[in-house]
């Protein structure tokens, strides 16, 4: 509980209605999309504008009270679980599109804006904002920026960081900074914009963002390639890239994932296949057709059983939407679903899929795999039961080995979901001890009292590497 005096100050800033500390509000802000994590905050606050954010931070800084910025709480790394209590600051009220600049092709928005609402709005204006995390129907732009989210279109169009060109943010001491702007070129000093993108609410609170928009592709085609052989599918991914074709979307789903997705979306997917690739190409009509034909050839050369093309836009959309539900749909299998985010260079996809299956077998756990294969970004997902401590332990060990394997293949411990609480013990594996020290120094200069999302990103102690025995 916050002291009455502090709660009073916060109420005075936002109005009594927008600061809450009743049990109901605390419980409903004690979790996010990550399984098995929960911790109660002391209060929940809903600011309406940048000045309020600034005033709130001044009060919290003065009393060294932690603050967790929160969009829709869909992140999968425990990023918004208030592990040290304090105040959860929900950005939902700041949800306006402030401007779409048709001359510069930029949009300026507030952080609480729903991602899909934004995408729909700019598409209505004949423009295109590519970052489309599978959670886009729920997530906010602020959350996307803080996690540097990627999506189904990341392969060809890049991720959130490639579209954020300017930010307004409030520092821990309440000061407001502006970075970048409606500029395609800007090298004035360190690139604070890029630093804040992916900073997971640990460096500053983002209160406004200027985003780059691009013209939309003229046409697109969507196809499914189906395989009886998992590795054939994985090899196809590498081969498409090797052949210098960059599809807009190149997604991988293994058999258990196909089954649960179909159970939800009732698409009539081929349940007897070991894997399917969902491939989309966009651009001008001639290129699209040529690319799709060449991709189909590659699929067949890697023993695809069948290749089919979506009849129309509606069917394509259904397929993509179904793919976006994969993570949640896997919860149909077992009570607890733990999804990870290992990423490797694209040429190593087949090796990684092999490694995952091997590791799962050795630890006696079930791990389904799907993901943005074209980015090398796989989501090995354990279907398990949180009540079985022994099994959960084996799952954790298996994931540790999966990260190890990813790094050994030149990959990383997270491709898009961020470090948060969950990956903190593994961060050092990726960036090294000196890297961690550097990052901590940056954190300290932004937030000397460690009030911004404390406990995230940096673990008290790094996890020891497990010895990898690949047989």
Ligand X SMILES: Cc1cc2nc3c(=O)[nH]c(=O)nc-3n(C[C@H](O)[C@H](O)[C@H](O)COP(=O)(O)OP(=O)(O)OC[C@H]3O[C@@H](n4cnc5c(N)ncnc54)[C@H](O)[C@@H]3O)c2cc1C
Binding interface with ligand X (CB under 6 A): 32-33, 68-76, 79-80, 91, 111, 133-135, 139-140, 142-144, 146-147, 149-151, 200-201, 205-206, 327-328, 416-417, 453
Choose from ligand X, other proteins, none: what does 143 bind? Cβ within 5-8 Å by kind.
Answer: ligand X
CA distances from 297 to 146, 253, 304, 309, 413 (A): 40, 20, 9, 13, 33
Q: Per CB under 8 A, does 327 bind other proteins? A: yes
Nearest to other proteins of 84, 328 (CB atom): 328
Number of neighbouring beta carbons within 10 Å of residue 27 = 12
| 151: partner contacted, choices ligand X, other proteins, none (Cβ within 5-8 A by kind) | ligand X
CA dihedral 242, 245, 246, 252 (to 10 degrees): -70
Comparing CB distances to other proteins, the nearer of 31 and 458 is 31
Q: How far is the CB of 470 from ligand X (least distance, A)?
A: 29
Residues 69-108 that bind other proteins (CB under 8 A): 72-74, 90, 92-93, 95
Phi, psi torsion values for 40, nearest 5 degrees: -80, 135
Place of tokens 């966009």: 282
HEC profile for 220-267? Answer: EEEEEEEECCHHHHHHHHHHHHHCCCCCCEEEEEEHHHHHHHHHHHCC
Query: What sign for the dihedral angle of Cα 182, 184, 185, 188?
Result: positive
What is the nearest approach in angstroms of ligand X to the Cβ of residue 249? 11
What track of x and - describes contact with other proteins for positions 30 through 49 (by CB under 8 A)? xxxxxx--------------
What would the x/- binding string for other proteins be over residues 14 to 33, using CB under 8 A? --------xxxx-xxxxxxx
Name which of 232 and 371 has its Cβ closer to ligand X: 371
Binding partner of 201, given other proteins, ligand X, none, CB within 5-8 angstroms per partner class: ligand X
* Cβ count near 78 (within 10 Å): 25
d(CA 51, CA 174): 9
Partner interacting with residue 390 (select from ligand X, other proteins, none; CB below 5-8 Å by kind): none
Where does this chain bind other proteins (CB under 8 A)?
A: 22-25, 27-35, 72-74, 90, 92-93, 95, 114, 116, 135, 137-138, 260-261, 263-264, 325-329, 331-332, 337
């Amino acid at each position: 509980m916050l002291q009455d005096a502090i709660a009073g100050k916060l109420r005075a800033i936002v109005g009594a209605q927008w600061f809450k500390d009743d049990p109901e509000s605390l419980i409903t802000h004690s979790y996010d999309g990550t399984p098995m994590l929960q911790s109660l905050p002391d209060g929940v606050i809903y600011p309406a504008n940048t000045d309020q954010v600034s005033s709130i931070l001044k009060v919290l800084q003065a009393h060294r009270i932690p603050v967790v910025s929160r969009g829709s709480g869909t992140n999968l790394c425990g990023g918004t679980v208030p592990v040290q209590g304090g105040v959860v600051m929900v950005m939902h009220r700041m949800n306006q599109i402030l401007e779409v600049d048709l001359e510069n092709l930029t949009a300026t928005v507030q952080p609480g804006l729903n991602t899909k609402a934004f995408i729909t709005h700019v598409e209505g204006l004949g423009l295109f904002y590519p970052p489309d995390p599978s959670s886009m129907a729920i997530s906010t732009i602020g959350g996307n920026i803080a996690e540097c989210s990627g999506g189904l279109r990341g392969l060809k169009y890049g991720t959130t960081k490639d579209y954020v060109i300017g930010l307004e943010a409030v520092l821990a001491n309440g000061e407001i900074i502006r970075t970048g702007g409606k500029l395609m070129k800007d090298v004035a000093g360190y690139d604070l914009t890029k630093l804040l993108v992916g900073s997971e609410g640990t460096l500053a609170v983002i209160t406004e963002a200027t985003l780059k928009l691009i013209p939309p592709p003229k046409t697109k085609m969507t196809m499914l390639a189906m395989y009886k052989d998992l590795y054939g599918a994985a090899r196809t991914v590498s081969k498409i890239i090797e052949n210098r074709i960059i599809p807009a979307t190149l997604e991988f789903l293994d058999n258990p994932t196909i089954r649960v997705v179909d159970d939800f979306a009732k698409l009539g997917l081929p349940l007897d296949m070991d894997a399917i690739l969902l491939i989309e190409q966009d651009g001008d009509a001639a290129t699209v057709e040529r690319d799709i034909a060449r991709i189909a050839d590659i699929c067949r050369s890697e023993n695809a059983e069948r290749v089919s093309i979506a009849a129309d836009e509606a069917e394509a959309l259904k397929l993509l939407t179904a793919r976006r539900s994969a993570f949640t749909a896997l919860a149909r299998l077992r009570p607890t679903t733990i999804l990870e985010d290992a990423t490797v260079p694209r040429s190593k996809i087949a090796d990684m899929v092999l490694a995952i299956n091997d590791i799962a077998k050795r630890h006696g756990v079930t791990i389904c795999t799907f993901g943005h294969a074209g980015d090398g970004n796989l989501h090995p997902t354990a279907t398990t039961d949180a009540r079985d401590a022994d099994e959960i332990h084996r799952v954790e060990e298996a994931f540790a080995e999966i990260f190890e394997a990813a790094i050994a293949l030149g990959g990383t411990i997270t491709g898009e979901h961020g470090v948060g609480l969950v990956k903190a013990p593994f961060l050092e594996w990726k960036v090294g001890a000196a890297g961690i020290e550097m990052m901590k120094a940056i954190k300290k200069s932004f937030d000397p009292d460690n009030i911004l999302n404390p406990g995230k990103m940096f673990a008290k102690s790094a996890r020891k590497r497990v010895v990898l025995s690949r047989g």
